[in-house]
Structure 1
Amino acid sequence: MFGMRPVASAAPDPGSTSFLGISAWLWPMILGGIGLFAAFQAYYWIGHRLGPKIYASRLGRKIPEDKILKVEAAVRKWGALAVYACFWVPGVRHTLPWVAGVLRISYPWYVVASALGCLTWVPVTYLGLYAVIWGWLELAAQSPLLAVLAALVVLAVVAGFVRRRRRRAAARRDSEKLTTP
């Protein structure tokens, strides 16, 4: 059949299920981003409503005062830019928004910064985790023993990191006790 072109198949690809034209594997990322954005708005308004009383609450007592003061200083200095940056710092991500509410930073700028944070942090985290999980599953399919060893190495590194941080914190507390009269 000289000169004839192949006709595209009308059958859908079974691996490309979608809803509203968006691939199914993207929906957890989209919903996670929306959920995180909603949580950031709730944190802001809780801090805004309760004000400094939040520091005496059960949530506020879980976070050392020196850490709250550092977060307050960052919010006072950087404003909405601190809100965006907090997405990339574990532990600060869920502390800074209610401190921003207590300090009553500009809400329109807060919304912009938290939206940009969600739009950048969520895809990086989701796709990075997706790549790691699928990479590990591929390794497990090829060699279950190597997959177990890789998981054990990762767990050992995380445990070592946590242990090191705890030792440093304990040493810091001990040195503060010695220097405090």
Structure 2
Amino acid sequence: MDKWDIPTSRPRLRGGNIPLCDLRPRTVLHQLGALHYFSQFRRTKKGTPFSEIKQSEDIAELFAEMAASFLASFIANTEDWAIITTPRRRHYSCFHFATAVCERIALKLCIPFYPDAVQCINRNRLAPEFHHLRPIKERRLIIYDDIITTGSTLTATADLFADRDFIINLISINNR
């Protein structure tokens, strides 16, 4: 990863608040322009800091279990489905939360997971440009992102796969 991916300080919201999540499930369907996505948790005033969540394998297992159960409730036939994550743009350590969650979802649903299938090729957080790093043959995709704030990462990833038959956009924490 380039050095611009390495965070220089602890993430904070306006007013100096650290983003938190109480880890209580709240699955909700959202609309972002023409894009629809499901979120399973939301930012709260009390709870675990996002920075701790993104470093926890136990929480990755919790998120994966919930996501797999949710997806299995309406995907009867998992043939021709695959799961990918949005590109790594801030992660430089060896543990990548979204990858850990997707690996577990893929095992539970018996579908392929394509780690690092997409790469960001610019530094613009609000208008990212992505490209494919590997071919994905499946026509139905689950695009997973751990936290949504502006929605630009999810939108750019979904646009890249606009030729697919069906896409489910799944977010762990809604930070919007």
TM range, normalised to the smaller chain? under 0.3
Q: Is the helix fraction higher in 1 or 2?
A: 1
Larger radius of gyration: 1
TM-score where L is the length of structure 1? 0.24
Q: Is the strand fraction higher in 1 or 2?
A: 2
